[in-house]
Amino acid sequence: MKLAQFKALTFDCYGTLIDWESGLWAALQPLLARGGPKLGRDGTLEEFARHESAQQAETPALRYSDLLARVHRRLAAAWGVAADDALHAAFGASVPAWPAFPDSAEALAYLKKHYRLVILSNVDRASFAGSARRLGVAFDAVYTAEDIGSYKPDPRNFAYLVEHVRKDLGLGPEAILHTAQSLFHDHVPAARAGLARCWIDRRQALGGGSGATMPVADTPKVDFHFPSLAAMAEAHRKGG
């Protein structure tokens, strides 16, 4: 299997293109400054993952910025930290401030010359618009949880992706390479949907772990595995 055989790269954004763990950690500092357990960065992000996943299951149609505010409220309650509505709302509105990975814009600019680029994201459209400005590339299609009415790893999100890439871009699932960091949100459900997959293993340099995503029982087999998007672009450049 070669990277060049595909016509569309469908991307998870947060964790893959945008450094959402650094963004989340920074956005949680006002709450953490008020008290709570001293869990460290990874422990705090793991707590976030548990509450985010539970909230997404409870309210799948809730816009992501509002969902983040509820997750922040849950964390404050779990940690016994006093926080007002303004602090919860500020966390919910923090997505556009989350930084891009340093290699994302340049690698996307290269890949844009060879593929149709598509986003399949768990955020809302307004939040993604802020992130898109950091990535500096025109995506051929953007599909969000706000459009779909559910959050990954719900299989509906991948059914929607396949249906709309076919309808909007004229490409079948065999032309798609789903490119993502999260095993939980992306690789497990994309495998069940029958899509080829490229793992951008951003946490490899951190010694593994699941961070701000829920862990999976077994690592699914992937078709390509790179530590960064730059490494993927270089492999394509070399004919890999």
Residue 38: exposed, middle, or buried by beta-carbon count in 10 A (0-12, 13-18, 19+)? Answer: exposed
Domain boundary among 63, 97, 131: 97
Same domain, 7 and 65: no
Looking at residue 208, its pLDDT comes to 62
Same domain, 124 and 215: yes
Q: Which residue out of 12, 19, 124, 154 is catalytically annotated?
A: 12
12, 120 contact by CB (below 8 A): yes
Domain boundary among 97, 113, 132: 97
168 Cβ neighbours under 8 A, 6+ residues apart: 140, 141
Instruction: Match 């680029």 to its residue by tokens.
Output: 117
Same domain, 39 and 110: no
Looking at residue 58, its pLDDT comes to 97
| Six-digit token string for 112 | 């844009």
Same domain, 112 and 206: yes
Q: Can you give the residue range of the structural domain that contains 162?
A: 3-20+99-237
Residue 20: exposed, middle, or buried by beta-carbon count in 10 A (0-12, 13-18, 19+)? Answer: buried
Same domain, 60 and 161: no
Same domain, 25 and 135: no
| Six-digit token string for 70 | 């509820």
Question: Mean pLDDT by 10-residue block, N- to C-terminus, for the chain (240 residues)?
Answer: 96 97 98 92 96 97 98 97 97 98 98 98 97 97 98 98 98 98 96 97 79 91 97 93
CATH code, domain carrying 200: 3.40.50.1000
DSSP, collapsed to helix, strand or coil, labels residue 171 as: coil
Structural domains counted in the chain: 2
Residue 103 a catalytic site member: no
Same domain, 140 and 220: yes
Same domain, 105 and 146: yes
Long-range contacts of 151-155 (CB under 8 A, 24+ apart): 151/56, 151/60, 151/122, 152/12, 152/120, 152/122, 152/182, 152/185, 152/186, 152/189, 153/184, 153/185, 153/186, 153/188, 153/189, 154/60, 154/189, 155/189, 155/192, 155/193
Same domain, 86 and 107: no
Same domain, 81 and 52: yes
Same domain, 166 and 199: yes
With CA atoms as reference, report the closest residue to 182 among 144, 222, 137, 124.
222
Same domain, 110 and 73: no
Q: Which residues pair with 225 in a beta bridge?
A: 199
Looking at residue 204, its pLDDT comes to 84
CATH code, domain carrying 73: 1.10.150.750
Bond before 189 cis per omega within 30 degrees: no
Domain boundary among 75, 97, 119: 97
Residue 181: exposed, middle, or buried by beta-carbon count in 10 A (0-12, 13-18, 19+)? Answer: buried
Conformational region of residue 208, where left means phi above 0, alpha means psi within -120 to 50, and beta covers everything else: left
